[in-house]
Chain A
Amino acid sequence: MNLDIIFNLILLGIIIGTIYSLIAMGLSLIWGVSRIINVAHGEFIVIGAYVTYYMFNTFHGDPSLYLIPSGLVVGLIGVIIQLLLYNRIVGRDHLTSLVLAFGVSIVLSGSMYILFTGNLRVVNSFYSEKSILIGSATVRWGAIYGFFIALILILLVFLLLEKTDIGRAIRAIAQDKDAAILMGINPQRIYLIAMFISAFLAGVSGNIVAVLYSFDPGVGESSYLGISFVITVLAGLGSIKGLILAGIFILTAQNFTSVYAQGLETAMGFLIMILFILFKPTGLFGKLLE
């Protein structure tokens, strides 16, 4: 293996890995704040991809125009699901919330098959068709686009969590719900805000993956949920730094796997996760996962 290939694999690992950090961020946020493993997160992403797809096919123009709308539509869906369903099971054990979230996941993907059919969709634009050469690596503009959008959003979420009252309240609920209630924080309100942010991020991620990859209603589960889970565990709950490093690390590891042992990329992700669960269950920087 020559140095060029190694450079390419690492470069793509950083670019695509950052995008996957964003993809995982919403899952991690809800897990940390509401203690719900929202396995419907993959479907949230795919809904965002469909919003971008249909808006692009209707209005054309640059797919980046549909970034915020995709986030808002999915954010709204997340809020509705929180109010109707997840609010009822917050505070219960993981099994209860998992069963409910699986139900939501199945209903969402089933509805999408009915509404949008199972045909593979692509958003054909400048981003998917044109590439740029970085060193010896050919990188599609979609990846560059996704990388910067992901960086900006991760930074915004970081600032929101660290510097605002709402952000402090979200972290307080994640760390010690009872103490947060003593501060006059209303947990139900925080769960709702956290869900909106999580679903918004999923919708925005959907815009990015629609620009980058083809998709159908099933890819939420097959392509995005599992890896979000792996990245979240590896990062440790409550650490944005961990999310970025974990995303880059997992994607780089998968890139190398694709060269040495093609077909085992997904297995490699889970293998790394299992090793972490065995030897460092709090993840890279996590504090919240006992």
Chain B
Amino acid sequence: MLKISNLQVKYGKIQVIWGLDLEIPKGSVVGLLGPNGAGKTSTFASIAGLVSPFEGSILYNEVEVTNLNPAKRVELGISLVPEGRKLFPDMSVKDNLLLGSYQKRAKSKRKESLNRVLTLFPILEERLNQQARTLSGGQQQMLAIGRGLMSDPSLLILDEPSLGLAPIIVDDIFNAFKRINEEGVTILISEQHVHRVLEIIDKGYVIEQGRIALSGNAKELEGNKHIREAYLGI
């Protein structure tokens, strides 16, 4: 579904991604693991079209999207739930969700998408008219995921979705990811809770200093000595 080849990204003179290759099969859950500052967010930003790589290509469903603007990529079905949620704090929960379906294709399926999100996160239905800033951290994350789903994506990218959340909430949203994936949405997720994410991914890439250090399925990664020492603390 998504194929990244030789991705290279610079911010000014500082290069942060050095020839990254990554492949996401349709219907899978793929993890991008690695420490802070390794380049996970920059990789996601390149996929969503927020930064332009100076080298490399991104193919989405066999279509070259490397130079498309973010709006076109949303229309094609790529949805990024950014790190730190980036909600519209002074707008209602409902307005936040509706903004997720701003694009034409999503707008025609708005009712269905809204039902789907509210079934997935019933707590949001009770808060529809509240301002997003009044939600708890966990609810805000649910809203961010829900907003991402409102665009009716085929590829949902989740950047550090459990950051700062209580473990019990993390269980909830990870369960939601499983259900979203079962509904046919391909998921790309970055996570610092590596043991957590290993439970749900089909395949994982470990990114270090802007390069893929290793990759494999969950079992392989779990058994890898480097992963165990650096990320799992075993």
Write the residues of chain A forming the contact surface with B, with a CB cutoff of 8 angstroms: 165, 168-169, 171-172, 175-176, 178-186, 238, 287
The distance in angstroms between the C-alpha atoms of A40 and B95, with both chains bound, is 32
B86 and A184 contact, CB distance less than 8 A = no
| Cβ–Cβ < 8 Å partners of B61 in chain A | none
Q: Is the Cβ of A171 less than 8 Å from the Cβ of B50?
A: no
Chain B, Cβ-Cβ closest to A238: B90
A184: chain B residues at CB < 8 Å are 70-71, 74-75, 102-103, 106, 151
Structural contact, B99 and A183, CB atoms closer than 8 A: yes
Are B151 and A165 neighbours in the complex by a CB distance under 8 Å?
Answer: no
Contact assessment for B70 and A179 in the assembled complex, using a CB-CB cutoff below 8 Å: no
Chain A residue contacts of B71, Cβ below 8 A: 181, 184-186
- Contact check, A183 vs B90: say whether CB atoms are below 8 A apart: no
Q: Do A182 and B50 have beta carbons less than 8 Å apart?
A: yes
Interface centre among B71, B87, B103, by most chain A C-beta atoms within 10 angstroms, is B71
Q: Are A182 and B82 in contact (CB under 8 A)?
A: yes
B1 at the interface (CB under 8 A from A): no
Q: Could you mark each residue 57-81 of chain B with 1 if its beta carbon is under 8 Å from any beta carbon of chain A, else 0?
A: 0000000000001110011000010
Contact A169 B91 (CB under 8 A): no
Q: Which of A168, A176, A186, A238 contacts B95 (CB 8 A)?
A: A168
The tally of residues in B whose CB lies under 8 Å from a CB in A reads 25
Q: Does B114 make an interface contact (CB < 8 A)?
A: no
Given contacts A165-B107, A184-B70, contact A175 B89 (CB under 8 A): yes
Interface residue from B48, B91, B100, B106 paired with A171 (Cβ < 8 Å): B91
B91 and chain A: residue at smallest CB distance: A171
Shortest C-beta distance, B209 to chain A (Å), equals: 25
Residue from A176, A185, A287 in contact with B102 in the complex, judged by beta carbons closer than 8 Å: A185
Q: A168-B99, A172-B99, A186-B71 are in contact. Are A179 and B48 (CB under 8 A)?
A: no
Q: Does A165 lie within 8 Å of B102, measured CB to CB?
A: yes
Query: With A182-B70, A186-B71 given, is the CB distance from A172 to B88 under 8 Å?
Result: yes
The yes or no answer to B98 lying at the interface (CB within 8 A) is yes
Chain B residues in 8 Å Cβ range of A168: 91, 95, 98-99, 102
A287's closest neighbor in chain B, by CB? B90
Known contacts A165-B98, A168-B98, A175-B91; 9 additional CB pairs below 8 A are: A168-B95, A168-B99, A171-B95, A182-B50, A182-B74, A182-B80, A182-B82, A183-B151, A185-B71
Residue of B with least CB distance to A169? B102
Smallest CB separation, B191 vs chain A (Å)? 20
Is there contact, CB below 8 Å, between A181 and B98? no
Q: Which residues of B contact A (CB under 8 A)?
A: 48, 50, 69-71, 74-75, 80, 82, 86-91, 95, 98-100, 102-103, 106-107, 147, 151
| B75 CB contacts on chain A under 8 angstroms | 184
How close is B129's CB to chain A, nearest CB, in angstroms? Answer: 12
Bound-state CA distance A180–B102 (Å) is 10
Interfacial chain B residues near A176, Cβ < 8 Å? 86, 88
Q: What residues of chain A lie closer than 8 Å to B95, measured between beta carbons?
A: 168, 171
**Nearest-neighbor residue (CB-CB) of A181 within chain B:** B70
- Is there contact, CB below 8 Å, between B48 and A182? yes
Chain A residues near B99: list those with CB within 8 A: 168-169, 172, 180, 183, 185
Most chain A CB neighbours (cut-off 10 Å) among B50, B70, B80, B103:
B70
Residue on B nearest A179 in the bound complex, by CB: B86
Residue from the set B89, B100, B102 with the largest chain A CB neighbour count within 10 Å: B102
Minimum Cβ distance to chain A for residue B19 (Å):
26
| Shortest Cβ distance from B148 into A: residue | A182
B108 to chain A: closest CB distance in Å? 12
A-B contact pairs, 14 of them (CB 8 A): A171-B88, A172-B88, A175-B88, A176-B86, A178-B50, A179-B86, A179-B88, A182-B48, A182-B70, A182-B74, A183-B102, A183-B103, A184-B70, A184-B103
With a cutoff of 8 Å between Cβ atoms, the chain B residues found around residue A186 in the complex are 69, 71
Cβ of A160 to closest chain B Cβ, rounded Å: 14
Chain A, Cβ-Cβ closest to B150: A183
Residue of A nearest to B151 (CB): A184
Chain B's closest residue to A162 (CB) is: B95
| A184→B106 CA distance, assembly (Å) | 11
- Complex Cα–Cα for A2 and B86 (A): 55
A287 to chain B, nearest CB (A): 5
> What residues of B have a CB within 8 angstroms of the CB of A169 in the complex?
99, 102
C-alpha gap A165/B103 in the complex (Å) = 10
Residue of A183, A185, A186, A238 contacting most chain B CB atoms (<10 Å) = A183
